[in-house]
Each structure stands twice: as structure tokens, then as C-alpha cells.
Amino acid sequence: MAVEWTDLGLVLSVRKHGEHDIILHILTEQHGHHAGVVKGGAGRRARGLYQPGNRLHARWRARLEDHLGTFVCEPERMFAAGALHDRMMLTAMTAVCAMAEAVLPEREAHPLAYQQACHLLETLGEANWVVDYVLWEMHLLNELGFGLDLSSCASTGVTDDLIYVSPKSGRAVSREAGGPYKGQLRVLPAFLVQEVPEQPGMDDVIAGLDLTGFFLERHVYAPHQRSLPDARQRLRALISA
């Protein structure tokens, strides 16, 4: 008896499979990061549908649960088309897809990661989308079990004037406690700890990217002898420029 399910999914990547088909990787809400063959997916008419970042109605079917299986997909929302005109937005979308594919285990449901990725793609182009991108990486660290504790100072327990993060513990450190060691600590941008975040400057956004990037690389990528995806590194360079 065949196994079959339907779900919404974000396109993460596409790889050629023979002359006419593709292997599609998507991030779904209920079935996690999942792969399957799309018959005819390499054709010119289908090419625009399977762009990373697009959200599809996907039906997956296989003879057995552990088989690669096949997808039949229809468009739900074409996020990729809206980012084509903006290099930074397109790079951010590519980074989200590359990171989700690399770090989220296949066939393991992570509905919050899916929902947060969708929210980010929906806000691309809005005034504070770069802040939403940093928050997405913070959420990704939480989802993977490496969330940062920014609630109080790791040394004194105070909750005010938190401006550093310990690279060892991932906990916040206050200005006073961290002063003698500031060269060894990571910068904590204010918008990550404010109850009502003020509009951050680009220096704060870059500090946020450097903070999340440090912990993602340390906990997720380095143990597998890998670095952050090229698109993520390009995004940081574009924002800093």
C-alpha cells in the first residue's frame, strides 16, 4: 500500500535528475525537510515554479515510507518573483533556503521553523526585514537546541545594561561585568533585548548577524567541517556595504 501526504512547502533547492526530472527539497510545516522526484520538473514550463523560496502545495507519494518518492506540486505563493528585482532580498531568500536545507534534519517536523521562514519571506522588502532576518536566525538557534539566554547577566544576574554575550555560554553579560573582558565577548545589539525594540542602525544589524553567525557556525556547521553558506556570507557583506 502506497504512502501519501499533502502539505504546504517552501522550495529549498532543486537538482537535475536525468534529462527531464528534478530532485526537489522542500521545507513543509508537518513533514519537515523532505525530498522527492518531480517528473518533468526540469522542463522550461516548470522552471519558474521550482525556484528556491516559492511556497507550493505539494503531494508526496511513495511505495514505502523510506523511499525517495515523487512530488506533484502546484503554486501557492511565488515569493521568488518578488525578490528578483533586489539583490539583497534575493540573497537573503537564498540564504534562508540554504541554511534550512543544511541544518534541519530530513523528515523531522519543525513547524515553528517553517512558520518563521514563511514570515520572513512575507516581510522581505518591508522597512525592517533585515531585523526579521536576524530574528529568524535567533529562532533557528532555538529550534536546534542552541538558543541564547539573553534574559540576565551570566555573572551578576542583573537584567539591565546587557551589551555583551559570552561566546562560551551563550548568555548575556552586562556592561559592568563584561568591561574587563570586552575583547573576548560578542556584541549584543540592543534590539535583541528591548521589550519594544527601537529602530536599529545598520551597525546593530551587522552585530546581530555576527552574533547569530558565530553561534551557528560554532554549534551547527563547524562540527561537520563546514562553513556558513555562501549566500549567508554574501548577505552579511551586502548589508555591511
Assigned fold of 84-240: de novo design (two linked rop proteins) (1.20.1440)
CATH superfamily name and code, 3-81: Nucleic acid-binding proteins (2.40.50.140)
> Cα–Cα distance between 188 and 173 in angstroms, integer?
9
Q: Determine contact, residues 69/36, Cβ cutoff 8 Å.
A: yes
Task: Show pLDDT as tens, one digit a residue, over the chain (241 residues).
Answer: 689 999 999 999 999 999 999 999 999 999 999 999 999 999 888 888 999 999 999 999 999 888 999 999 999 999 988 888 899 999 999 999 999 999 999 999 999 999 999 999 999 988 889 999 999 999 999 999 999 999 999 999 999 999 999 999 999 999 999 999 999 999 999 999 987 667 888 999 999 999 999 999 999 999 989 999 999 999 999 999 8
Q: Determine contact, residues 217/227, Cβ cutoff 8 Å.
A: yes
Residue found by looking up cell 536546534 in the block: 144
Instruction: Read off the pTM.
Output: 0.91
Sketch the domain layout of the chain as residue ranges.
3-81, 84-240
